[in-house]
């Protein structure tokens, strides 16, 4: 579903999806798996998350920035994403997770932000792939 | 590095990439490096990124690269670019996500010999008292109203509210608060991320390091800074946490939206920018100053917790004074001579430190006869340096110098085949105690991930940008 990409100072990932909605869902999971141990997160509640953009690239940056804000600002850890609507300028999804709790959720790296560095969305062998670098 | 980049050696410590109009470059790139460092620099995309910076509208002088330069996103890390204040651009990516990430050096009244027998206790106490903030919130509880005061007053707010001593704020760059901060230009999301994170270290390359003074190279400057051989000092490296990260995220998105309106096209969307004078540019600068002030308040709070930890272990007689606090991710209005003419510029320092020489009015009165202190952290197993700003920086680099050793290896590459427990033991055998909230925190920041800091220092010393004052050796390291 995703793999880690190397960068001299930061970290990136390459996410895959059979469809574009799956790609966006997997990209969100890839990012959060760098920030915390996803297995520690229970899907206790459902949340509606959305973002807008000018094209698929900016939509991906804005979508991931939105998910990061939920994690770091609203302090909600999410583990599963169901993308219910995707156009080049907008995305809507239902995500499941729970309020962050330092006792039960192991933290990994603090993700500062989603960058445009070498951002790529392209056709893959079976579906789509995206490459994203994060500032950590 | 991509093929086809023409690099000329100017002398033993300077290289030039001449302007290539075909790539849209408006000026040259000048790299400060030795031959050995240049060979490492060529391996990643940092030179291409410095060339991309040379395409920005209104760039004055050259696009500059310091010897610790490495690949960033948009701007290289270790880059300096000055933009004409009247017709240049401001780029949030050129400041970076961690606005006013910086270092402060604190001197203690203790010697290494006095600290060593209690080092383990001290490191454990500091680890308890200075949260990294990865999982939970920090110890400072403030609401939105107080946050707005923090954004306006920076380190001064902390001192006024009991998190410091009267003298502290005056020994930070800009007095620990930039004028022109506009809390209203900071989004509610940025504030929401910032409030629970005030007074926390962060992770990644952020750290708090107990060190001792190993060598003195400039007696007069060392005396002015209050440091002597064998003395214990503490280096704190942190920034504006989630608040600054969100400010940058918000304004990179905003700039990407408005660039067509200002007819700006760029080779990399992470460089997104707009005219300094445009309303969006002014809003960003107001928010950036506010985030910078948050960072100074943050480092001030961390120092306050550090003082408490030292008192608990060594008693009331252990006194800690701030030597200085410098930022290395910032854009500042400064005036320099370019091509024989004095110009007002917005100097973007992305992983670069201000280095004003003796006599500059912005250097605290106690240090003005020697120059501004500059701190250059190395890796946790090697050394850090205290430098002092020199005249060459004013002539050549818009009063700027390097900010660290510069990374050499990716996080995954350095971790490969290594065990956190073994590596911690190895460092301990070398006299360095390390505590980290995460296993990855230790492995990813191992000394071999970085260039040799001494080589970086040789370049800036010999190029006349800053002078060596003192070499510091680590004893205890707290990592996020």
ipTM of the complex: 0.93
Shortest alpha-carbon distance between residue B10 and chain A (Å): 27
Tell me which H or E stretch contains B84: strand B75-84
Choose, out of B40, B47, B101, B134, the residue to mutate when testing the contact with A (most A CBs < 10 Å): B134
Q: Give residue-wise pLDDT tens across range B360-380.
A: 999 999 999 999 999 999 988
* Residue B442's pLDDT band (cuts 50, 70, 90): confident
> What pTM did the predictor assign?
0.96
Q: Give residue-wise pLDDT tens across range B297-350.
A: 999 999 999 999 999 999 998 999 999 999 999 999 999 999 999 999 999 999
Interface size, chain A vs chain B, as Cβ–Cβ contacts under 8 Å: 107
Quote the pLDDT of residue B453.
95
- Considering only the beta carbons, identify the residue of B136, B270, B411 that sits closest to A11: B411
**Chain B residues with CB-CB distance to A11 below 8 A:** 410-412
- A72 lies within 8 A of chain B by CB: yes
Q: Give residue-wise pLDDT tens across range A72-130.
A: 999 999 999 999 999 999 999 999 999 999 888 888 888 999 999 999 999 998 899 99
Q: Give residue-wise pLDDT tens across range A13-61.
A: 999 999 999 999 999 999 999 999 999 999 999 999 999 999 999 999 9
Nearest CA to B281 among B459, B479, B111, B84? B84
Residues B97, B239: contact at Cβ < 8 Å? no
Shortest alpha-carbon distance between residue B192 and chain A (Å): 6
* Residue B66's pLDDT band (cuts 50, 70, 90): very high
* Residue B283's pLDDT band (cuts 50, 70, 90): very high
Q: Is B6 exposed, middle or buried (0-12, 13-18, 19+ CB in 10 A)?
A: exposed
| Six-digit token string for B155 | 């380190």
Quote the pLDDT of residue B55.
97
Q: What angle do CA B115, B117, B123 make, to 5 degrees?
A: 65
Quote the pLDDT of residue B3.
61
Nearest CA to B72 among A30, A123, A116, A3? A116
Residues B55, B23: contact at Cβ < 8 Å? yes
Whether A115 and B204 lie within 8 Å, measured CB to CB: no
Whether B410 and A7 lie within 8 Å, measured CB to CB: yes
**Chain B residues with CB-CB distance to A108 below 8 A:** 134, 438, 440
Nearest CA to A127 among A57, A22, A27? A22
Choose, out of B190, B245, B379, the residue to mutate when testing the contact with A (most A CBs < 10 Å): B245
Whether B270 and A117 lie within 8 Å, measured CB to CB: yes
Nearest CA to B104 among B197, B218, B208? B208
- A13 lies within 8 A of chain B by CB: no
- A96 lies within 8 A of chain B by CB: no
Nearest CA to B99 among A113, A133, A60? A113
- B165 lies within 8 A of chain A by CB: no
- pLDDT over threshold 60, residue B65: yes
A121-130, B158-167, B418-427: which range is least confident on average? B418-427
Quote the pLDDT of residue A130.
97
Instruction: Please identify every residue of B annotated as catalytic.
Output: 403
φ, ψ at A48 (rounded to 5°): -95, 125
Shortest alpha-carbon distance between residue B134 and chain A (Å): 6
**Chain A residues with CB-CB distance to B192 below 8 A:** 73-74
Q: What is the mean pLDDT of chain B?
A: 95
Alpha-carbon span B294 to B305, nearest angstrom: 17
Alpha helices in B92-240 (DSSP H): 92-95, 112-115, 119-129, 144-153, 155-160, 188-194, 219-225
A49-58, A105-114, B58-67, B97-106: which range is least confident on average? A105-114
Whether B73 and A135 lie within 8 Å, measured CB to CB: yes
Residues A39, A97: contact at Cβ < 8 Å? no
What does A80-130 look like in DSSP terms, one character per residue? EEEEEEEETTEEEEEEEEEE--TTT--B-----EE--TT-EEEEETTEEEE
* Residue B2's pLDDT band (cuts 50, 70, 90): low
- Considering only the beta carbons, identify the residue of B248, B269, B409 that sits closest to A113: B248
Quote the pLDDT of residue B477.
95
Shortest alpha-carbon distance between residue A100 and chain B (Å): 8
Shortest alpha-carbon distance between residue A113 and chain B (Å): 6
For residue B13, what is the DSSP state? Answer: T
């Amino acid at each position: 579903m995703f793999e880690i990409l190397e960068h001299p100072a930061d970290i990136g990932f390459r996410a895959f999806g059979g469809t574009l909605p799956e790609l966006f869902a997997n990209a969100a999971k890839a990012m959060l798996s760098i920030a915390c141990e996803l297995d520690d997160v229970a899907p206790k509640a459902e949340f509606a998350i959305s973002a807008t953009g000018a094209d698929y690239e900016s939509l991906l940056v804005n979508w991931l920035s939105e998910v990061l804000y939920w994690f770091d600002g609203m302090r909600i850890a999410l583990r599963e994403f169901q993308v219910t609507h995707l156009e080049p300028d907008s995305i809507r999804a239902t995500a499941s997770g729970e309020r962050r709790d330092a006792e039960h959720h192991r933290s990994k790296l603090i993700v500062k932000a989603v960058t445009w560095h070498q951002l790529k969305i392209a056709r893959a062998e079976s579906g789509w792939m995206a490459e994203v670098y994060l500032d950590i | 590095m991509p093929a086809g980049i023409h690099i000329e050696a100017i002398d033993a410590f300077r290289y030039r990439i001449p302007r290539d109009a075909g790539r849209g470059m408006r000026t040259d790139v000048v790299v400060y490096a030795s031959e050995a460092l240049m060979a490492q620099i060529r391996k990643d995309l940092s030179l291409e990124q410095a060339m991309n910076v040379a395409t920005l509208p209104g760039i004055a002088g050259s696009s500059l690269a310091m010897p610790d330069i490495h690949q960033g996103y948009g701007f290289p890390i270790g880059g300096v670019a000055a933009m004409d204040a009247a017709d240049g651009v401001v780029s949030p990516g050129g400041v970076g996500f961690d606005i006013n990430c910086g270092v402060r050096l604190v001197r203690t009244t203790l010697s290494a010999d006095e600290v060593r027998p209690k080092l383990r206790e001290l490191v454990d106490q500091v680890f308890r008292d200075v949260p990294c903030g990865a999982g939970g919130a920090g110890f400072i509880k403030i609401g939105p109203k107080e946050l707005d005061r923090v954004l306006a007053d920076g380190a001064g707010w902390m001192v006024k509210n009991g998190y410091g001593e009267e003298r502290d704020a005056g020994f930070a760059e800009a007095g620990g608060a930039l004028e022109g901060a506009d809390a209203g230009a900071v989004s509610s999301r940025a504030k929401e991320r910032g409030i629970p994170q005030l007074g926390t270290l962060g992770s990644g390359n952020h750290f708090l390091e107990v060190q001792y003074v190993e060598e003195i190279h400039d007696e007069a400057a060392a005396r002015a800074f209050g440091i002597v051989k064998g003395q214990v000092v503490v280096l704190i490296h942190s920034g504006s946490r989630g608040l600054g990260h969100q400010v940058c995220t918000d304004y990179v998105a905003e700039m990407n939206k408005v660039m067509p309106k200002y007819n700006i096209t760029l080779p990399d969307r992470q460089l997104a920018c707009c005219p300094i004078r445009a309303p969006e540019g002014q809003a960003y600068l107001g928010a950036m100053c506010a985030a910078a002030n948050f960072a100074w308040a943050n480092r001030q709070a961390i120092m306050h917790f550090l003082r408490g930890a030292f008192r608990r272990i060594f008693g009331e007689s252990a006194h800690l004074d701030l030597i200085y606090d410098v930022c290395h991710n910032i854009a500042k209005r400064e005036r320099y001579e370019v091509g024989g003419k004095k110009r007002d510029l917005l100097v973007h320092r992305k992983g670069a430190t201000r280095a004003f020489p003796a006599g500059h009015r912005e250097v605290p009165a106690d240090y003005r006869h020697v120059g501004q202190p500059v701190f250059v952290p190395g890796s946790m197993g090697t050394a850090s340096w205290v430098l002092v700003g020199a005249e060459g920086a004013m002539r050549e680099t818009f009063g700027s110098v390097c900010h660290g050793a510069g990374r050499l290896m990716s996080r995954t590459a350095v971790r490969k085949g290594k065990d956190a427990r073994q590596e911690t033991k190895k460092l301990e055998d070398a006299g360095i105690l390390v505590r980290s909230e995460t296993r990855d925190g230790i492995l990813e920041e191992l000394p071999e991930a970085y260039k040799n800091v001494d080589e970086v220092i040789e370049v800036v010393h010999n190029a006349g940008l800053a002078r060596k004052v003192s070499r510091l050796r680590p004893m205890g390291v707290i990592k996020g």
